[in-house]
Structure 1
Amino acid sequence: MRALAPATLGSDVVLRQPLPRWPFAAMFVLFPAWWLLGLGEAVWIALAAVMLFLLVRRGGISFPRGLAIWLFFLVWMGISVIGIDTGDRLVGFAYRALLYLSVTIIFLYVYNAGASLTTRYVLGVLTVFWLVIVAGGYIGVIFPLLSIHTPLGLVLPAPISSNEMVQDMIVRRVSQYNPDGWAKLDPRPSAPFLYTNGWGNAYSMLLPIVIAYLVEVRGERRFWWLLLAIPVSLVPAFLTLNRGMFLGLGLALVYVAVRLVIRGNGKALLGLLALAAVVAVAFATLPIAERLTHRITASSSTEDRANLYQEAFDRTLDSPWLGYGAPRPSEKDDAPSVGTQGQIWMVMFSHGFPGVVLFMGWLAWAYIRSIRERDPAGLALNTVLLVVLVESLYYGIMTAGLAIAMIAAALTMRPDVLPSGLHKHRLGRFV
């Protein structure tokens, strides 16, 4: 993440044309358009294909040590297709496989595009994405019953559009709310994602990045309105009543505070404590504690999740190597499908114990590799990788959460960038 001086140029330096920024920016900055069209994160598959074309056309694709862990996971995931037993599940498997391949390409693109996708630029794009998420959260708070029938439903053939997952994409809702449900629960904003948990996962992973970007733009006009946006964002964030998000943000706060204490950075620590004070005031001002208590007492989601996790583990013991290829209906009445309430459980149930070891092993490796980062951006990215490790236990992080994690990993792993797009190669290559 540090620039090298021209004096370091030598025989091991290769001149490359910089990769364009637009495919990366289009994924996140134009996300409101993708959401309104009904495509959402699915459009990232097409944009990842463009990235792959640009990478191959330029040639000399570099990759970091440790990526083999992730590549082995992709191979294992592909083999587990033999566990698929229905056409609908095959559609879901193919879609998830394409998303896994897409985030892999995003990783390689960011890793190889250091000359054009600078750390500051990437943080800025992800900050725009965070603002989009906050705006979607406010729409969910103000218009909880709003639903949008997207153009996607007009072009898909009936056999595909009848799939339950595809139906959720065709009709976009801005909150998770059922006014006719037997348990009278408050609406929880979810736009621009399908589910509130997806909103909370993305918000909690992006907030450290937003704060790091604030440090990058100190002294600029955008600093002040972005600083104001953080407390403003707490309204929809708190109203999601998302316990997993609260846990992720709390973990990030404590982790960064400990790192700052160890480094003796008192000024940054005071800033972090000021942010914590703002959060505490917002929590006390908004009716969060009352709503959260009501949700816990009126809903059995915690007990249901525990039972589902136990069922996922027990049934994986019957197919420990390759799993079942995809989530399956629960053996308990009215329970969600097994493998849908947490990424680690979905990977374990769908791709077996080796699959989950490889998946979590890659995230753990990325976190460990990034611990060495000392600058504000590096610390934020390292924190993001810790948060995704923990939130994978109870959140499905496909696709935004996993994409953010892969971007964070790419930024912390990529080699130093020289002026004019030159790279000093220390690592392996393929293509």
Structure 2
Amino acid sequence: MSGAAWPVAALLVGYPVWWALGFGGLSMIVLSVPMAVLLWRRRPVKVPRGFGLWVLLLAGYLVSALMLAETPPGTYGELGAGRLIGYAMRLALYAAVLIMVLYLGNLTERELPQLRLVRMLGVLFVTTVAGGLLGVLFPWFAFTSPVELLLPEWVSGNPFVQNLIHPTAAQTQKVLGYASPRPEAPFEWANAWGSNASVLLVWFVVGWWVHGRARHKLFVALMVALAAIPVVYSLNRGLWIGIGLAVVYTIVRVGGRTRVALCGAVAVAGLVFALSPLASLFAQRLDKPHSNDIRAFTVTATIAAAGHSPLIGYGNTRNAMGNHRTITTGKTEWCRACGHPPLGGDGQLWLLMITQGFTGAALYVAFFLGAIRRHWSDRSPIGLAGVLVMGLVLLYMFIYDGLVTPLGLYLISFALLWRNSLGRDS
């Protein structure tokens, strides 16, 4: 591998080390610094079509800082360091992924071959499966990271920061009426694990099955079978829907014997799953859609709050007053866990509405829709997979917060599409 590609390998292959150190998703921000320096040295810099929308999204977030001190009706939120920390970290992440896309697109095929980049994403999928199994088997596993020890308490104690710097194997929630551990290692929370697992699965299959030999395909089959365990135990309906739609998309877009073979494989996998103990847990989760009312309440509250600053939003999240059952809920001395999650926590679309108004949400949607439109005709394995991921992004924006690691994987997938188009045009 060329020396210029080391920041990419450090991020994707070395991600478990970053997680153990307490950087986790923040590693993208750390590694964007050497990427920016190396990018500056190789000017002029190529820019992908449609990337101006992301630049506008970033610029809009800068403008939204004007509203950080404001509180829309029907919401509350502490002023001061906590709100500023959340804003600064999101701003740094948006800038970091912008740098990362430009860096990947300006590396030549010799410096970083497409297949090698795809396979590095596949390595991260193996890490994700290992982390998911850790969360299933040892859900109590957690430790204090070096970063957590070094940061002052007023920073490390911030809930948003704490999720990023404190490594844990699982997130325990009463999804089925009792405490259920949902895998999240090596990412920041359970929903991030679900989003990342589905995106990385796409690239794992492309890199190690489509472009693999017999032994690679055997390894893929084994890893996918193992992945089914944390995928089901995650109790993540969004992940299940995403995988289902990915299968349908692939069957529709491929043809000939590949389609027949894929249909057969799906039928066999479905039969094996139906006969396994995982089927019972899957059915239990479908019977208990406990989060529907909560999501409906927070989405409604988010849209209402965003309506008071529709162009630039409020820079950071706010909390709704009450919840879907009562207006009196809140954190108290005797119930520190009470309260309501921040507005925008139920999907990137809603997060953008509260932080950057309807303008920011529209720019985000236009960016990924534009990527699908431009690359739809690319029927290579990477082209088909990249368009699929762009579609998953538009699905997940309704149910998953894209911060922190999911957004990085979305933009790496975008960069793969861009690099593929450069190869076709050359």
TM-score, normalising length: structure 2: 0.88
CA-CA distance at 1:94 after TM superposition: 0.5
Distance 2:232 2:116 in 1: 29
CA-CA distance at 1:230 after TM superposition: 1.5
The answer for unaligned runs of 5 or more in structure 1 is 1-17, 425-431
CA-CA distance at 1:417 after TM superposition: 4.4
CA-CA distance at 1:348 after TM superposition: 0.8
Taking structure 1 as reference, are residues 178 and 302 closer, same or farther at Cα in structure 2, changes over 3 Å only? closer
Q: Percent identity?
A: 32
Aligned residue among 143, 147, 150 for 2:145: 150
Distance 2:220 2:248 in 1: 23
Distance 1:167 1:215 in 2: 37
CA-CA distance at 1:227 after TM superposition: 3.0
CA contact (8 A) 2:187 2:405 kept: no
Distance 1:292 1:302 in 2: 17
CA contact (8 A) 2:194 2:236 kept: yes
Residues 354-388 of structure 1 deviation map (CA, whole Å, 9 limit, x = unaligned): 11101111011112212111112211111111111
Matched, 1:231 2:225: yes
Distance 1:162 1:109 in 2: 33
Letter in 2 for 1:218: G
CA contact (8 A) 1:120 1:216 kept: no
The answer for unaligned runs of 5 or more in structure 2 is 70-78, 323-328, 330-338
> Higher relative CO (CA 8 A, sep ≥ 6), structure 1 or 2?
1
Distance 2:89 2:217 in 1: 39
CA contact (8 A) 1:184 1:298 kept: no
Query: What corresponds to 2:41 in structure 1?
Result: 57
CA-CA distance at 1:125 after TM superposition: 0.4
Could you tell which deviates more after superposition, 408-417 or 181-190?
A: 181-190
Taking structure 1 as reference, are residues 207 and 111 closer, same or farther at Cα in structure 2, changes over 3 Å only? same
Distance 1:198 1:274 in 2: 31
Residues 316-359 of structure 1 deviation map (CA, whole Å, 9 limit, x = unaligned): 11111111111111111333111111100000111001111011
Residues 226-247 of structure 1 deviation map (CA, whole Å, 9 limit, x = unaligned): 3321222111111111100011
Aligned residue among 339, 347, 350 for 1:345: 350
Query: What corresponds to 1:365 in structure 2?
Result: 370
Could you tell which deviates more after superposition, 337-346 or 152-161?
A: 152-161
Matched, 1:283 2:278: no
Aligned residue among 414, 419, 422 for 1:416: 422
Q: How does 1:25-174 map to 2 (within 5 A)?
A: 25-85=9-69, 86=79, 87-115=81-109, 116-174=111-169
CA-CA distance at 1:282 after TM superposition: 4.6
CA-CA distance at 1:256 after TM superposition: 1.5
CA contact (8 A) 1:369 1:413 kept: no
CA-CA distance at 1:398 after TM superposition: 1.6
CA-CA distance at 1:78 after TM superposition: 1.1
Distance 1:107 1:230 in 2: 28
Residues 50-83 of structure 1 deviation map (CA, whole Å, 9 limit, x = unaligned): 1111011111210122111111111011110111
Letter in 2 for 1:158: E
Taking structure 1 as reference, are residues 282 and 52 closer, same or farther at Cα in structure 2, changes over 3 Å only? farther
Could you tell which deviates more after superposition, 271-280 or 400-409?
A: 271-280
CA-CA distance at 1:178 after TM superposition: 5.3
CA-CA distance at 1:290 after TM superposition: 3.4
CA-CA distance at 1:139 after TM superposition: 0.4
Letter in 1 for 2:376: I
* Number of residue equivalences: 398
Matched, 1:207 2:197: no
Letter in 1 for 2:349: I
Q: How does 1:265-304 map to 2 (within 5 A)?
A: 265-295=255-285, 300-304=290-294
TM-score, normalising length: structure 1: 0.87
Distance 1:355 1:89 in 2: 19
SS in 1 for 2:345: coil
Taking structure 1 as reference, are residues 166 and 218 closer, same or farther at Cα in structure 2, changes over 3 Å only? closer
Q: How does 1:191-270 map to 2 (within 5 A)?
A: 191-219=185-213, 221-260=215-254, 265-270=255-260
Letter in 1 for 2:204: V
SS in 2 for 1:187: strand
CA contact (8 A) 1:19 1:113 kept: no
Query: What corresponds to 2:404 in structure 1?
Result: 399
Distance 1:309 1:376 in 2: 36
CA-CA distance at 1:113 after TM superposition: 1.0
Distance 2:176 2:263 in 1: 41
Distance 1:104 1:84 in 2: 23
Taking structure 1 as reference, are residues 216 and 287 closer, same or farther at Cα in structure 2, changes over 3 Å only? closer
CA-CA distance at 1:45 after TM superposition: 0.7
SS in 1 for 2:180: coil
Letter in 2 for 1:137: G
Distance 2:345 2:92 in 1: 18
